[in-house]
Structure 1
Amino acid sequence: MRQVLLIVDIQSTFSPPEWLVDGVRALSATIPTIASLQLHDEQVTPFERQLGWHPAAEDECLVEADKVFVKQGYRQTAETIEYIRGLGAERVLVCGLQTETCVLAAGFALFDEGLMPTLITDLTVGSSLDRSGKMGIELWKHHFGNVITRAQVLAEGCV
């Protein structure tokens, strides 16, 4: 099965735990990898006006990826989706920060485009509402069904 890894917002602004960065780095070394980087532009997404905070205007992805796409809000860009489609991926493995928001938004974008989003449950962290990510994992199962662990990905030998 042709698959790619989509890393969602593992960047300095959000202070991801080291175990997450290390785990994603280890997996990304074995599979084609795309990453999203959330940057702030108040003219595009009014974080400050609506929420009273905003991500950094400049930042860097903490995991090496074959291609990094900048986004200004929760959703993945059309360019990201087209790039993934161009790779001929049959399944998109998704990991990253804020399981119930940005990661879930990536799942909806992939699902709506006919791609198969599959959450790597042990390579995701929830928002401050639920750092465990359990709420986001349950939402993912409900909406998309497909979840997997890093060990299962490696055991499949499809990377």
Structure 2
Amino acid sequence: MRQALLIVDVQPSFSPPTWLLRDIDRLLGHMPTVATVECHDEAITPFQAQLGWRPPERERSLIAADRQFVKHGYRPTDEVLNHLIRLVPERVLVCGIQTETCVLAAGFALFDLGLRPTLVTDLTVGSSLDPPGELGIRLWRHHFRHITTLAEVLGTSA
């Protein structure tokens, strides 16, 4: 199956757990990989004005993905989505930070384009509201149905 992996906002300012970095790295080299990095530009997404919080203005991905794209806000940019379309995947695996917000927003964007978003449930963490990401996983299953695990993707039992 032709797959691509979208890695959402695994960046220093969000303090990802080391197991998440290690396990996402296990997928590198198995398929094309794309990472998003959330950076602040108040003129594009008014985080500070609306939430009193903002991501850093400059940031980098902690995963050595094939391509890295900056985004401002919750959803992936058109540049990210167009890149994924050009890869012609049968499905796009999604993992990363904030299952119930940025990861879910990526799912909606991919779904609307017919890219069959599939959440890798054990490669995602939620926000401070829901650290294990259980709410986001339930929402994903409800809206998009397709979920998997790292072991299933790698064809292993662990």
TM-score (normalised: structure 2):
0.97
Q: Give distance in 2, aligned partners of 1:117 and 1:103.
A: 10
Listed as ranges, the matches of 1:115-126 within 5 Å are 115-126=115-126
> Partner residue of 2:74?
74
Instruction: Count residues with an aligned counterpart.
Output: 156
- TM-superposed CA distance for 1:20, in Å, is 0.4
> Partner residue of 1:42?
42
Q: Give distance in 1, aligned partners of 2:5 and 2:25.
A: 11
Q: Give distance in 2, aligned partners of 1:82 and 1:42.
A: 24
Q: Give distance in 2, aligned partners of 1:59 and 1:135.
A: 27
- TM-superposed CA distance for 1:60, in Å, is 0.8
- Residues 20-66 of structure 1, C-alpha deviations (whole Å, 9 max, x = no match): 01110111232210010100001110000100010000111000011
Q: Give distance in 2, aligned partners of 1:92 and 1:28.
A: 14
**What SS does the aligned partner of 1:28 have?**
coil
**What SS does the aligned partner of 1:23 have?**
helix
Q: Give distance in 2, aligned partners of 1:19 and 1:138.
A: 22
Runs of 4+ in 1 over 2 A off after TM superposition: none
Q: Give distance in 1, aligned partners of 2:142 and 2:112.
A: 15
Query: What's the C-alpha RMSD, in Å, of the aligned pairs?
Result: 0.9
Is 1:145 the counterpart of 2:148? The answer is no
Q: Give distance in 2, aligned partners of 1:139 and 1:28.
A: 27
Q: Give structure 1 stretches of 5+ with no counterpart.
A: none
Q: Give structure 2 stretches of 5+ with no counterpart.
A: none
Q: Give distance in 1, aligned partners of 2:29 and 2:56.
A: 27
Q: Give distance in 2, aligned partners of 1:136 and 1:65.
A: 23
Listed as ranges, the matches of 1:11-90 within 5 Å are 11-90=11-90
**What SS does the aligned partner of 1:4 have?**
strand
Q: Give distance in 2, aligned partners of 1:93 and 1:116.
A: 8
AA paired with 2:103? V
Q: Give distance in 2, aligned partners of 1:31 and 1:22.
A: 17
Moved more, 65-74 or 26-35: 26-35
TM-score (normalised: structure 1):
0.96
Q: Give distance in 2, aligned partners of 1:30 and 1:19.
A: 19
Q: Give distance in 2, aligned partners of 1:6 and 1:14.
A: 17
